């Protein structure tokens, strides 16, 4: 079985605001001495794992990331006839297994990623407590599991500060998407008019500004398939399906930021997939010098492939096998690429 799967993507977005900072402007980073557009890895991972594409492919194998496990448990207990006082107390006991509960609250302090198996155990315990009208016993509160069938937890990991023995190491690392060229953030000045204005009314009912920029992004993903299989309790078939679903989401699904305003949906223009046991490496160094000119996609692909060759020259082969597709020239086949990755 392949140890590492690496994906290198070039994706072009028109004017957009895919991932905003605290001021509502597109996120940026300085690289190679110039300002670049950036999409955070957190934004990308949430975009992919909550996409319809990923959820449909992995139905029944997706966890829930929430602080509200206890609140949901309380509501279910009350719905099954438990008094409000007991429901709250028992729900706090259940929630505390997944994180430290807030003072006098059923909510926990940090988001916990809960697998479907763990949720089923919680629901089963709730049914038992309600039927027997009693508090949970200590052994019944052992609800956490170190292995999972939730592919999003297996891929992106889980940290439980109060129960570190049930932490799950991420099998997938995702880099921040970065533009291969320098950018300047522009501002869209806009107004809105009241539809019920009379003919003599003048002026706008609302005035605002929104930052935006266009960019060609380089994105990098590294999957440790051996670790993914281990996280999924040895289920190779499920791990293979998870890698295929993640690949398709990464290639086809865009971050949701300001989509209604900019309709900035895009497929990757170029994808390079690599497999092997060699130590992984990003190809971002290819873009330390920002790309200039009117052939950005063509130039970016050329720089990326040249960097692959140069790494191989000085370090030896950095992958056992590779496959690419190029939507600029119409070369390659996505289904063949998915099969290559899954093989």
Q: Is the pLDDT assigned to residue 126 strictly greater than 80?
A: yes
Judge whether residue 202 has pLDDT over 80.
Answer: no
Q: What secondary structure, in 3-state letters, does the chain show?
A: CCCEEEEEEEEEEEEECCCECCCCCECEEEECCEEEEEECHHHHHHHHHCCHHHHHHCCCCCCEEECCHHHHHHHHHHHCCCCHHHHHHHHHHHHCCCCCECCCCCCECCCEEECHHHHHHHHHHHHHHHHHCCCCCHHHHCCCCCCCCCHHHHHHCECCCCCHHHCECCCEEECCEEECCCCCCEEEEEEECCCCCCCCCCCCCEEEEEEEEEEEEEEEEEEEHHHHHHHCCCCHHHHHHHHHHHHHHHHHCCCCCCHHHHCCCCCCCEEEEEEECCCCCCCHHHHCCCCCCCCHHHHHHHHHHHHHHHHHHHHCCCCCEEEEEECCCCECCHHHHHHHHHC
| pLDDT of 194 higher than 90 | no
pTM of the model: 0.93
Q: What is the arithmetic mean of pLDDT over 229-234?
A: 96
What's the pLDDT score for residue 195? Answer: 83
pLDDT tens, position by position, 245-285: 999 999 999 999 989 889 999 999 999 999 999 999 999 99
pLDDT of residue 86: 97
pLDDT at 23 (0 to 100): 87
Q: Mean pLDDT throughout 113-119? A: 96
Whether residue 1 is predicted with pLDDT greater than 90 in this model: the reply is no
């Amino acid at each position: 079985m392949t140890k590492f799967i690496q994906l290198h993507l070039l994706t072009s977005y028109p004017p957009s605001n895919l991932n905003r900072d605290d001021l509502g402007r597109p996120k940026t980073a300085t690289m190679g001495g110039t300002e670049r557009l950036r999409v955070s890895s957190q934004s990308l991972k949430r975009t992919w794992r909550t996409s319809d594409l990923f959820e449909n492919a992995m139905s029944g194998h997706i966890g829930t990331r929430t602080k509200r496990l206890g609140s949901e448990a309380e509501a279910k207990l009350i719905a099954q006839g438990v008094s409000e006082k007991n429901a709250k107390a028992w729900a706090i006991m259940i929630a505390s297994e997944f994180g430290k509960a807030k003072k006098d609250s059923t909510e926990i302090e940090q988001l916990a990623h809960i697998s479907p198996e763990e949720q089923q155990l919680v629901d089963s315990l709730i049914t038992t407590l309600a039927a027997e009208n009693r508090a949970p016993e200590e052994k019944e509160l052992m609800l956490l599991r170190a292995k999972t069938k939730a592919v999003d937890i297996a891929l992106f990991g889980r940290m439980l500060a109060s129960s570190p023995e049930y932490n799950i190491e991420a099998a997938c690392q995702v880099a921040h998407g970065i533009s291969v060229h320098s950018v300047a953030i522009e501002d869209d000045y806009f107004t809105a008019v009241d539809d019920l204005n009379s003919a003599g009314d003048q002026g706008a009912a609302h005035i605002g500004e929104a930052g935006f920029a266009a960019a060609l992004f380089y994105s990098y993903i590294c999957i440790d398939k051996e670790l993914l299989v281990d996280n999924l309790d040895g289920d190779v078939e499920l791990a293979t399906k998870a890698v295929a679903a993640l690949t398709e989401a990464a290639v086809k699904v865009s971050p949701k930021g300001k989509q209604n305003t900019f309709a900035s949906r895009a497929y990757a223009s170029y994808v390079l997939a690599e497999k092997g046991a060699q130590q992984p490496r990003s190809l971002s160094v290819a873009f330390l010098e920002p790309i200039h000119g009117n052939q950005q996609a063509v130039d970016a692909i050329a720089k990326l492939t040249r960097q692959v060759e140069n790494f191989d020259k000085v370090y030896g082969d950095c992958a056992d096998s590779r496959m690419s597709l190029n939507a600029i020239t119409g070369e390659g086949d996505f289904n063949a690429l998915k099969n290559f990755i899954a093989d």
